A = this chain, B = another copy of it.
Amino acid sequence: MSAPGTLTVVGLGPGDPRWLTPAAAQALAEATDLVGYGPYLDRAPPQLGQRRHASDNRVELERARFALELAAQGHRVTVVSGGDPGVFAMAAAVFEALEGGDPAWRSVLITVEPGVTAMLAAAARVGAPLGGDFCALSLSDNLKPWAVVEQRLRAALAVDFVVALYNPISSARPWQLGAALEIAATVRSPDTPVIFARAIGRADEAITVARLAVAGGVAADMATLVVIGASTTRLVPRREGAPYVYTPRRYEARP
C-alpha cells in the first residue's frame, strides 16, 4: 500500500445508535482502520478484518497524527468522535496535526462527516430551548485561559443568547461550572430554566431542568451538557411529566 489513503472523521452522535447518520455508518463499515477513544470504538458495529486503534481520551493530537500517518501509508482510516466531529471533538485536531505534520500527509483525502452534536439532542429531549439565537461554549480551560471563557460567557449572556456549555466539569475542572452559573445569575432571572442533560441517548440518561437560582445544586459530570436559557426561554406544562422548555422564535428588544 503506497498510494495515499483516506481519512474520514465521523461523529457517532450522542449515545443512541438511532442518531448515527447512514453516511457515518458507511464510513465506519468501509474503514480498514478505526482510530478513536476506546468507548467510542466500542459503539461501532464489529467489522471482520477491521483494525481498531483505541486510545485514551486526552491525546487528541497524538491520535490525529497516528491516523494521518496510517492514511498516508494507504489505509482507509476512520477517526471516531462522539456527537459531531467538528464541535469540540476530533476534526479540529486532525487539521491541527495536518498543518504541523509531515508534508506527505497533505496527499491524504480528508473528509468530515457531520453528526448530531450533544446540544441538539439535549434540546430535543426537553422541547426547543435553542429556538432562538444561541452559542456553544466549552468550559474547558485546558486549551484557553479561563479569562477568555468568562469574557465570552458574559458577552453571550449580555445580548441574551441561549448558551450551551460543553465540557462543563471534570475532576481537573471542578469549579468552572459553578462559576459560570454564578455569572449567569448576575445577568439572568433566578427563574431562568437551566437544562442538565447527562449521557443523552444512553441507558443511563438523566435530564434535569432546574431554575437558575438552584442550578448550582444539580449534580453534573463529564458526560453532562448544560444549557442556560435566554430571558425569553419558557416552560410549557403538559398533562403528565416535566414541562417542555422552549425559546420563542420571536424576540422583542428589551428597554
A121, CB-defined interface residue at 8 Å: yes
For this chain, the copies found in one complex come to 2
Q: Given known contacts A86-B130, A135-B135, is B19 in contact with A19 (CB within 8 Å)?
A: no
- Contact check: which of B22, B84, B121 meets A18 at CB < 8 Å? B22
A128, CB-defined interface residue at 8 Å: yes
Closest to A135 in B: B135
The distance in angstroms between the C-alpha atoms of A19 and B135, with both chains bound, is 23
Main secondary structure, interface of A, reads mixed
A85, CB-defined interface residue at 8 Å: yes
Q: Which of A179-207 contact B (CB under 8 A)?
A: none
The distance in angstroms between the C-alpha atoms of A137 and B132, with both chains bound, is 8
A159, CB-defined interface residue at 8 Å: yes
Residue of A20, A132, A161 contacting most chain B CB atoms (<10 Å)? A132
- Contact check: which of B13, B94, B128, B161 meets A112 at CB < 8 Å? B128
Q: Give the chain B neighbours of A248 by CB distance below 8 A.
A: 92, 96
Choose, from A28-36, A41-49, A239-247, the stretch at the interface: A239-247
A2, CB-defined interface residue at 8 Å: no
Ordered by A's residue number, 28 sampled pairs between the chains whose C-beta atoms are within 8 Å are A13-B21, A18-B23, A19-B22, A60-B249, A84-B120, A85-B124, A86-B124, A87-B120, A88-B131, A91-B246, A92-B128, A92-B132, A92-B246, A94-B128, A95-B131, A99-B234, A106-B239, A110-B238, A112-B123, A115-B120, A132-B138, A134-B135, A134-B136, A135-B156, A144-B251, A148-B159, A151-B159, A155-B158
